[in-house]
Amino acid sequence: MIRGSCHCGSVTFELSEPPEWLTICNCSLCRRVGALWAHVDTACATVTHDEDATFTYVQGEKRVALHTCKTCGCTTHWTSLMAEAETRVGINCRLAEPDDIAALRVRHFDGADKWEFTD
């Protein structure tokens, strides 16, 4: 089980199963957020927060809504806005305990140019 939270604790998450890998993306948004994404099925992820604890940002092609804690400013997760991927969620594992994710493979994704993994 992987657990984490934003800095102030207003948003928490649990992953019941570890992801196959974590993803670092270099797109204009992800590189600014500095996230280490776990892309998982919603059945494996529980994100808990008060209804008004986060604000969302939707950019460009409107594929995902990024959720950020209103109190401490940590980007915690994204939810899919695409019908074909509505059961997928991204969890920012930079907010997990380092020991909990230390053994997971990290893959680099070129979201800026090629839209493919570089490894």
* Residue at 103 is within a domain: yes
Q: What is the DSSP string of 75-114?
A: EEEEEE-SGGGTTEEEEEGGGB-HHHHTTS-EEEEETTTT
Strand order of the β-sheet with 45-48 is 2-5, 12-15, 45-48
Residue 63 maps to a domain = yes
33 belongs to a structural domain? yes
- Note down the domain range covering 72: 2-114
The maximal CA–CA distance of the chain, rounded, in angstroms, is: 39
Residue 119 lies in a domain: no
Helix or strand (DSSP H, E) at 23 = strand 22-25
pLDDT digits (tens, 9 = 90+) for 30-86: 999 999 999 999 999 999 999 999 999 998 788 889 999 999 999 999 999 987 767
Token readout for 79 is 């939810």
CATH number, domain containing residue 54: 2.170.150.70
Distance CA 21, CA 67 (A): 21
Domain count for the chain: 1
Is pLDDT above 90 for 87?
A: no
